[in-house]
């Protein structure tokens, strides 16, 4: 069997597990890893949870550590162009042959656990996480930057004991699984906090901070914040916290200064857009300070190099000029609001032409409220996965709830066709924005790559 066919068979098997949905809990993970000799215990980790920003923070942290000469694994989701994007070492995705070999190794283990009534069938995300943990252990990486999939407490990644836990921020998301309130969701995210393991957060919400602090206290975990000091409860503008200032933005990225717990750097540059990316970078820099004493020291030259070389597609990513073509995977109301604020700040344009497709379980009204007021023309579309929302329903919301001009909104189910129409409608000084989901961006980006 040729290698490409083996890879496609491996992917088909992995994706076939999606029919088993989401099953919160760690018992299946522990059973599978146990049968494999517990490879996850052979590696060091930084574990990152949060509603938004966790992927960017993970990518930035991994980039700087890689620039420092360490062998760094990165596990994120979802992927943009290829399934192999999910797991990488020093910026290089897993090879298709490596993935195929791992599936051959792990498939019998999955089948054995599936046949045991105590566990039942593992989910796709659980199996992919086992693949990743086994992969990183087999190649003896120095550290893995591990992004949580959903929640934290019962997420498949929560089988590890890291050097540092990070919670970027918390907002309402996946309420059908995590709970209807910020306090309930914060409880699930704070479930990554382990006994004696330091915890860093970039959250500013008092409810969220209270939950995180209580969980940290229960686990004797020292708590650090990007915004607050915890020496006397938590209070703004105290000395023992990082300070981020000196913003300077452009369409190519932004510079900033960072005064941290023990370090200070002026005029750092990241090729990512959106002020929130500065805070993600600052979270990564704070994390570097907190793990420096555990064998992962990096100097200022490395930090500057790593930040400047960060590659993280699908986040206010500029793919074309005249007209501007920007793609962003904002997939919940909070992310959509921040992205909508950043668009006019980082780009100069006359009209915004929107290609919009979200998942069916998202708050369509809240997401559309954030971005539709900026749009001159909207093409509603859908990603090529079953979870995608019906664009006809989005069109109906735009008409009935937002009372948009019928002539300025269209349904084009195929993302490639929607992008073609948007680009043809746009003038050279306009901006075409593809957003609503990483799955939407993935399909649009794949189509665009075939055009250029």
Q: Which CATH number is 100's domain given?
A: 3.40.1190.10
Q: Which residues contact 209 (CB under 8 A, 6 or more apart)?
A: 201, 203, 225, 228, 234
pLDDT at residue 1 in the model? 61
Whether residues 248 and 336 fall in one domain = no
The first and second tokens of residue 134, run together, are 């086994």
CATH number at residue 324: 3.90.190.20
Predicted local distance difference test score (pLDDT) of residue 236: 42
Q: Which of 308, 328, 354 lies at the terminal end of a domain, its last residue?
A: 308
| Cα distance between residue 340 and residue 373, in whole Å | 9
pLDDT of residue 233: 44
- The pTM assigned to this predicted structure is 0.92
In this structure, the answer to whether residues 77 and 21 fall within a common structural domain is: yes
Nearest-Å Rg of the Cα atoms of the chain is: 22
Please count the structural domains in the chain: 2
Q: How far is the CA of 218 from the CAs of 26, 50, 346, in angstroms?
A: 21, 20, 43
40 and 135 together in one domain: yes
Residue 39 class from Cβ within 10 Å (0-12 exposed, 13-18 middle, 19+ buried)?
middle
Gap between the Cα atoms of 405 and 390, Å rounded: 20
Ranges of the chain whose pLDDT falls below 50:
175, 231-239
Instruction: Give the burial string for 197-212 (b: 16+ CB within 10 Å, else e).
Output: bbbbbbbbeeebbebb
Do 8 and 94 belong to one domain?
yes
155 and 185: one domain?
Answer: yes
> Do residues 251 and 322 share a domain?
no
Which of 242, 273, 308 is the last residue in one of the domains? 308
Examine the fold and report which residue of 261, 281, 308 is the final residue of a domain before the chain moves on: 308
The H-assigned helical ranges of 300-363 are: 300-308, 333-346
pLDDT for res 232:
41
345 and 407 together in one domain: yes
Distance CA 226, CA 244 (A): 9
Based on the domain organization, do 251 and 328 belong to the same domain? no
Whether residues 255 and 342 share a domain: the answer is no
Query: What pLDDT shows up at residue 235?
Result: 44
Question: How many beta carbons lie within 10 A of that of residue 298, not counting itself?
Answer: 20
Provide the pLDDT for residue 437. 96
Own/partner contacts of 242-249, CB < 8 Å, gap of 24 or more, are: 242/282, 242/285, 242/286, 244/278, 244/279, 244/282, 247/275, 247/278, 249/273, 249/275, 249/345, 249/346
Q: Are residues 300 and 334 in the same domain?
A: no
Question: With left for phi above 0 and alpha for psi between -120 and 50, is residue 53 left, alpha or beta?
Answer: left
Distance CA 234, CA 29 (A): 36
How far apart, in whole angstroms, are the C-alpha atoms of residue 440 and residue 379?
12
Q: Are strands 324-328 and 431-435 parallel, antiparallel or unpaired?
A: parallel
Which residue range(s) make up the domain with 246?
A: 3-308
- pLDDT attached to residue 234: 43
- Whether residues 377 and 358 share a domain: the answer is yes
Together in a domain, 302 and 328 = no
Give the integer Cα–Cα distance in Å for 242 and 248. Answer: 18
pLDDT at 182: 85
Q: Which tens digits make up the pLDDT trace of 79-129? A: 888 999 999 999 999 999 999 999 999 999 999 999 999 999 999 999 999
* Integer Cα distance of 300 and 356 in angstroms: 41
């Amino acid at each position: 069997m040729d290698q490409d066919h083996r890879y496609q068979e491996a992917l088909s098997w992995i994706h076939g597990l999606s029919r088993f949905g989401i099953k919160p809990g760690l018992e299946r993970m522990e059973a599978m890893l146990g049968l494999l000799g517990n490879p996850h215990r052979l590696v060091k980790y930084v574990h990152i949870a949060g509603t938004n920003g966790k992927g960017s923070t993970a990518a930035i942290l991994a980039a700087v550590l890689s620039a420092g000469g360490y062998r760094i694994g990165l596990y994120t989701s979802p992927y943009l162009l290829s399934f192999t994007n999910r797991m990488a070492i020093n910026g290089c995705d897993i090879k298709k042959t490596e993935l195929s070999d791992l599936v051959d190794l792990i498939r019998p283990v999955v089948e054995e656990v599936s046949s045991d009534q105590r566990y039942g069938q593992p989910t796709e995300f659980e199996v992919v996480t086992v693949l990743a943990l086994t992969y990183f252990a087999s190649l003896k990486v120095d550290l893995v930057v591990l992004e949580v999939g959903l929640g934290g407490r019962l997420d498949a990644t929560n089988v590890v004991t890291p050097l540092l836990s990070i919670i970027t921020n918390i907002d309402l998301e996946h309420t059908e699984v995590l709970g209807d309130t910020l306090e309930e969701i914060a409880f699930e995210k704070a479930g990554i906090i382990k006994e004696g393991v330091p915890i860093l957060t970039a959250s500013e919400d008092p409810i969220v901070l209270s939950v995180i602090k209580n969980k940290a206290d229960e686990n004797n975990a020292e708590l650090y914040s990007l915004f607050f000091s915890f020496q006397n409860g938590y209070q703004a503008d105290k000395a023992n916290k990082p300070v981020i200032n000196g913003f300077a933005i452009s369409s190519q990225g932004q510079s900033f200064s960072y005064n941290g717990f023990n370090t200070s750097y002026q005029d750092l540059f990241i090729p990512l857009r959106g002020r929130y990316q500065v805070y993600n970078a600052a979270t990564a820099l704070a994390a570097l300070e907190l793990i420096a004493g555990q064998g992962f020291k990096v100097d200022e030259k490395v930090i500057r190099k790593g930040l400047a070389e960060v590659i993280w597609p699908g986040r206010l990513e500029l793919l074309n000029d005249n007209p501007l073509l920007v793609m962003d995977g904002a997939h919940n109301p909070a992310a959509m609001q921040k992205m909508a604020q950043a668009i006019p700040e980082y780009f100069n344009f006359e009209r915004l032409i929107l290609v919009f497709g979200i998942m069916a379980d998202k708050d369509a009204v809240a997401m559309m409220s954030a971005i539709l007021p900026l749009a001159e023309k909207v093409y509603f579309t859908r990603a090529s996965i079953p979870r995608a929302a019906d664009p006809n329903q989005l069109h109906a919301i735009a008409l009935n709830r937002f009372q948009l001009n019928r002539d300025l909104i269209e349904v084009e189910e195929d993302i490639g066709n929607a992008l073609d129409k948007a680009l043809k409608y746009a003038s050279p000084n306009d901006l075409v924005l593809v957003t609503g989901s990483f799955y939407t961006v993935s399909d649009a980006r794949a189509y665009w790559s075939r055009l250029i």
